Amino acid sequence: MSFDGHLVGGMAVLSAVVDGGSFVQAAETLAMTPSGVSRAISRLEKRLGIRLFDRTTRSVTLTDEGRRLYQEIAPLLASLEQAADDAAGSAKSVRGRLRVNIDPYFSRLILGPALDRFMTRYPDLQLELFTSNQLGDLVADGVDLALRFGHPASSSLVARKLLQTRVVTVAAPAYLQRHGRPQTPAELDGGQHVCIQFRDSISGRPFPWEFHRGAARITLAGKGRLTVNDAGTLYSVCEAGHGIAQVFELGVERSLQEGRLVELFPDWRDEQFPLYALYPSRHLPPAKVVAFLEFVTALCAA
């Protein structure tokens, strides 16, 4: 015999009749009519091939077969009800396991230093962060939420923009002492300057060097023998004086203020790069996802 929803529903009606002592009481408990309860019991009896109740005008009594069945299913129905209550509780309270696919740079720079506050606030939550340059398949990978820089590709995922940061072109004073300071972006295409390339994880090719000023756009290839795919490496190599880099303004403010890096073209800094939160569904997101989103949104606003 196959197991289906109708069979489970019939078992629930059986349990309500036994617990209530009558079809009328079961109907009130289940928000059904007494005739609807009677039909459900009749369908269940036909499906099982046994009579469950002896009915008179005054009483409803379990048959021996019905009693044995009820004794078997009562613990199972209680377990199902407990499981449903637990699931509903998890949806409303911040607990359980939360898996987040997160951009390595954002994790290290913004989230990491503040993460203790989040973990302290939600002691029943187990948080699993894994940094990756690839988004992957959130549903297939069992991921609740992803935080990625860049405009998201068209998909069924919900995309929520958290912030935008400018792209700035920088070099270390040591580099400028050796090579001189370029006065215009076009000089980076001439071969006399070293450009540190950053690989696009989606295309597998280095990002083109773009310069935005209002509606004006300049796109260059950039010249250089070093290509990296980690923002931390890009920053450290640039600060060490190897070459010129295009980086997010987010995270280099202190380096610029303290003179460890110099912004080369302050008139060409209108290119913006967004950070998005991506998650599978807008419908009834779990409380743990909502709590993490609210925390990260507050971090980005600060």
Residue 263 belongs to a domain with what CATH number?
3.40.190.290
The answer to the question of residue 90 being in a domain is no
Range of the domain at 219: 164-272
Q: Are 253 and 181 within one domain? A: yes
Whole-number pLDDT of residue 110: 84
> Residue 186 corresponds to which tokens in the numbers above?
């076009």
From 46, 79, 112, give the residue that closes a domain.
79
Q: What CATH number does the domain containing 61 carry?
A: 1.10.10.10
Q: Are 57 and 197 within one domain? A: no
Q: Are 15 and 145 within one domain? A: no
Q: Enumerate residues 6+ apart whose C-beta is below 8 A from 57.
A: none
Q: Are 130 and 46 within one domain? A: no
* CA R_g for the chain: 31
Q: How many domains does the chain have?
A: 3
The answer to the question of residue 138 being in a domain is yes
Residue type, 64: D
Q: Are 193 and 255 within one domain? A: yes
Whole-number pLDDT of residue 197: 94
| Phi, psi dihedral angles at 211 (to 5 degrees) | -135, 125
pLDDT of 1-37, one tens digit each?
Answer: 444 556 777 778 878 887 777 888 888 888 888 888 8
Give the SS3 label for residue 64: helix
Q: Are 195 and 66 within one domain? A: no
Q: Are 294 and 152 within one domain? A: yes
DSSP 188: G
- Could you give the count of Cα atoms lying within 13 Å of 19 in the half-sphere of its Cβ? 15
Q: Are 211 and 267 within one domain? A: yes
The answer to the question of residue 85 being in a domain is no
H/E stretch holding 213: strand 209-213
Q: Are 112 and 43 within one domain? A: no
The answer to the question of residue 89 being in a domain is no
Whether 144 contacts 158, CB under 8 Å: no
Q: How far is CA 106 from CA 96, 101, 193, 256, in A?
A: 24, 11, 29, 19
Name the one residue in this structure whose structure tokens are 């923002």.
Answer: 231
> Residue 288 corresponds to which tokens in the numbers above?
């743990």
Whole-number pLDDT of residue 90: 47
Q: Are 239 and 294 within one domain? A: no
Q: Are 266 and 278 within one domain? A: no
Whole-number pLDDT of residue 143: 82
DSSP 233-269: HHHHHHHTTS-BEEEESTTTHHHHHTTSSEES-TTS-
The answer to the question of residue 209 being in a domain is yes
Q: Are 127 and 261 within one domain? A: no
The answer to the question of residue 201 being in a domain is yes
Q: Which positions of the chain have pLDDT values less than 50? A: 1-3, 88, 90-91
The answer to the question of residue 47 being in a domain is yes
The answer to the question of residue 91 being in a domain is no
Q: What CATH number does the domain containing 112 carry?
A: 3.40.190.10
Pairing status of strand 145-149 against strand 96-102: parallel
Whole-number pLDDT of residue 1: 44
